[in-house]
A and B are shown apart, each in its own frame.
Chain A
Amino acid sequence: MYVLEMDHVSKAFPGVKALDDVTLKVRPGTVHALMGENGAGKSTLMKCLFGLYSMDEGQISFNGQPVNISSVKEALSLGISMIHQELHLIPYRSVMENIWLGRYPRIGGSKSPVIDHKAMYEMTAALLKDLNLTTIQPTDLLRTLSVSKAQSVEIAKAVSYESKIIIMDEPSSSLTENEVEHLFTIIRSLKARGVAIIYISHKMEEILKISDDVTIMRDGKYVGTWPANELTTATIIKRMVGRDLTHRFPSGESVIGSELLRIEDYTSPNPRSFKDVSLTLHKGEILGIGGLVGAQRTEVMEAVFGLRLHSVGKLFIDGKEKVCNSAYDAKRLGMALLTEERRATGIFPVLSVQENLVIANINAYKNKNGLLNAAKMAADTKKSIKDLDIKTPSARTLIKSLSGGNQQKVLFARWLLTVPDILILDEPTRGIDVGAKYEIYVIMRELAAQGKGVIMISSEMPELLGMTDRIVVMSEGRVAGTVTSKETNQEEIMELATKYVG
């Protein structure tokens, strides 16, 4: 018996068939993972279920009854909720207002225009208590909460709708390992109440740990559904990409050269941020920065790149002390930074691939009159697209219409045009599908082979262990230890990452 059956669902957009005869059957009280590369149609399928898109063909049955979901309101009132990747919350409003948004309790019946604040407070307090979220107060402003707590508020909101199905789209992408554990605890308690969870994630280890069933999609088509305990990371990847991907990481030995970058005692003026951070990067080396989210890894690297202040600390490049107080300085010193938030601080969505590519290197295209040399820009763009195998219809395509993986490759290419010696990559494969991830790893290896130094911040253990030569593990703004990747394991890194916590 299924709580949800989606049969023969098809949906076309101009030029693409996003969904082609897709099936999804979810049992009540289970976690059902929905997997596939980016562009496989997972999100489109979920948007059809949540009333954001209408299906061209197909049938949805809910609790055995055929239903027609044409708006979010209908989905919610049926008992289908969605926790979006980018949380849909209102920052300057309280927790309780966010939870009861659109259906506030009212004084004197449902038609009354006046809100019953007392009832709203009590309902929220009861709900939070029920979910064991006692560290959150109903009157807390959303903006004062951590990402993890804000997500808990979204989950509480879904529960308050008495949802039978909760769709979670990449819920763990910005959570620390501890917070993911907390999320799983909530998910297990939801399961115990008979709620079904549709869980979308790219993290194999998580999927195998939390889910009961796994449905895999590829190129808008249904591949199959299997019990999670019959699957392994390798079989999932194989079914997702439709080919064997025996190596998740490209092989290759690093040839470590002389010292390239050294920072000493970097300390933030903000006492809650990083403190006494020292590290060294060599030519040809891939240096990982590990740690929990909140360990101030991004902050340190942004300070190195001149985007953030540091009150103490010295920077040496090739053994010579340098000053770097802005991204402009950093660029001149041969550094490049791929930021963590691709959409917020990486791409210019409504500009073309070419414009996105040349922007960091734009001064190099000025001719003697100060005008831009279009031919040279076009040539470099063409070369970049070829070298990094960027899948784009043309150089004039707007970057926003590319997949996440290809956008990331454009950003890589953007910085490679500046011919940097030091590349700082902040979560370079976040939200990118397996195939594109591998291609990014290949690029990193090639750069290291050319003698450049690469620093990679990553929250994904396998990636850290598989790609780097050494790992600097940070904990609560400090360096907890540096380990050699070949000689360490997940447990040792976790231990270091939690060294100064609490």
Chain B
Amino acid sequence: MGTLNAKRVKQFVMDKAIFLVLLLLVIVIAVINPRILRLQVLRDILMMSSTKIIMALGMMFVILTGGVDLGGGRLVGMAAVISASMLQTADYVRRFYPDLGQVPVIIPILLAVAVGTLFGMMNGLIVAKFKVPAFIATLSSMLIIYGINSIYFNMPPNNSQPIGGLRADFTFLGSGSVGFVPVIVVFAALVSIIVWFVLNKTVFGKNVYAVGGNPEAAAVSGINITKTLVGLFGVCGFLIALSGVLEAARTGGATNNYGNGYELDAIASCVVGGVSTTGGVGTVSGVIAGVIIFSFINYGLTFIGVNPYWQNIIKGVIIVAAVSFDIRKYVQKK
């Protein structure tokens, strides 16, 4: 009985190795500067994590099929610029649309999210129909999205000026709170619940896992693979654009360079959270844990005064370690 338990413990440690290492890092940070454990700081970290959780959950759909969305970061920028450009206060001096009236806050948000969904679906269509690997398809859309967004951002009279002076009813979504609970955290929680439901309880969700786990099996079982891919890339675009909108609301501004590189954080969080890069395996709870741990380390390293260049090195090591542990789990042990 004793050996069995020892074995189980060993298996558990193996399976959760990266998690344990990161928890250790969290503890180290907390020991060096215990002030990071104050409720206010933890709340800040949670707020910072919220948009990233939404984005990483979108990314998860694509990684579940063995791909990545490299255009995600640029899409965050586009969604941020679109929504911010139409939601400036009436008395702000440098308005993007000087003559635009007071539009309902929901309209620019829907517009930005619709654009994101559309770009996502286009990625899916290219992957499904032309058999272009997701890596390449989204590399192209990364360039295209950034190009279009920069042209839009450079339109007179804005001429590539940072967009500021956002309306209070918009920024409330990103930085406001009801009592002690930040609105943005509520958003993240709602999105997480919905995504969990979709992945676990709906036909579409099961089809995502099926297409990711064994596309041939999915095909011979009569699953419409094109529809599933277009759908899941669409969901990815939708969630990433939503996180872009909320990022603008949270920070109170937007430029065309917003979100640059966020896709890598999202991919890293998914991987650390146990989403297998070979497809078919991953959970919502894992992704959320991945994002929060990553944010904590990000924030914590700054908090204890680690040089930002070193932070990059540490993050890089974490990602490689996470993937090697992940692969170890699936490789037949000899």
Residues of A within 8 A of B (CB): 52, 71-73, 76, 82, 84, 88-93, 97-98, 101-104, 106, 113-115, 117, 302, 307-309
Contacts and interface: CB of A to CB of B under 8 A. Distances in A.
Given A90-B209, A102-B221, A307-B334, A113 B203 contact: yes
Given A90-B217, A101-B218, A106 B203 contact: yes
A151 to B, nearest CB: 13
Contacts of A101: 206, 210, 217-218, 221, 223
A90 B334 contact: no
Nearest to A52: B220
A69 B219 CA distance: 16
Interface in B209-227: 209-210, 213-214, 216-223
Closest 4 CB pairs of A and B: A90-B213, A88-B217, A102-B221, A73-B222
A74 to B, nearest CB: 9
A97 B202 CA distance: 12
B281 A76 contact: no
Contact of B222 (A84, A103, A106, A307): A103
B281 A82 contact: no
Given A72-B219, A115-B203, 10 more contacts: A90-B214, A91-B214, A92-B280, A93-B213, A97-B206, A97-B209, A101-B210, A102-B222, A103-B222, A307-B334
B203 A84 contact: no
18 contacts: A72-B222, A84-B220, A88-B220, A90-B214, A91-B280, A92-B213, A92-B281, A93-B206, A93-B280, A101-B217, A101-B223, A102-B207, A102-B218, A103-B222, A114-B201, A115-B206, A308-B334, A309-B334
B273 to A, nearest CB: 15
B204 interface: yes
Label chain B's interface by main secondary structure. Answer: helix
A98 B280 CA distance: 13
A147 to B, nearest CB: 14
A90 B281 CA distance: 10
Contacts of B222: 71-73, 76, 102-103
Nearest to A88: B217
B210 A93 contact: yes
Given A90-B209, A309-B334, A115 B220 contact: no
Interface in B161-215: 201-204, 206-207, 209-210, 213-214
A60 B174 CA distance: 63
Contacts of B220: 52, 72, 82, 84, 88
Contacts of B219: 72
A47 B159 CA distance: 60
B170 to A, nearest CB: 32
Interface residues of B, number: 21
Nearest to A84: B220
Give the interface SS of chain A, mostly helix, strand, loop or mixed. loop
Contacts of A106: 203
Contacts of B221: 72, 76, 88, 101-103
A90 B201 contact: no
Contacts of B204: 113
Contacts of B223: 101-102
A115 B202 contact: yes
B330 to A, nearest CB: 9
A273 to B, nearest CB: 10
Contacts of A114: 201-203
Contacts of B206: 93, 97, 101, 104, 115
Contacts of A104: 203, 206
A106 B213 CA distance: 22
Select the residue from A52, A88, A97, A307 with max chain B CB neighbours within 10 A. A88
A115 B208 CA distance: 14
A89 B217 contact: yes
A136 to B, nearest CB: 18
Nearest to B222: A73
A106 B203 CA distance: 8
Contacts of B207: 102
Nearest to B213: A90
Contacts of A89: 214, 217
Nearest to B212: A90
A26 to B, nearest CB: 21
Contacts of A84: 220
A88 B214 contact: yes
Contact of A91 (B202, B213, B216): B213
Contacts of B203: 104, 106, 113-115
B104 to A, nearest CB: 29
B202 A90 contact: no
Nearest to A99: B221
Contacts of A97: 206, 209-210
Nearest to B207: A102
A88 B216 contact: yes
Contacts of B209: 90, 92-93, 97
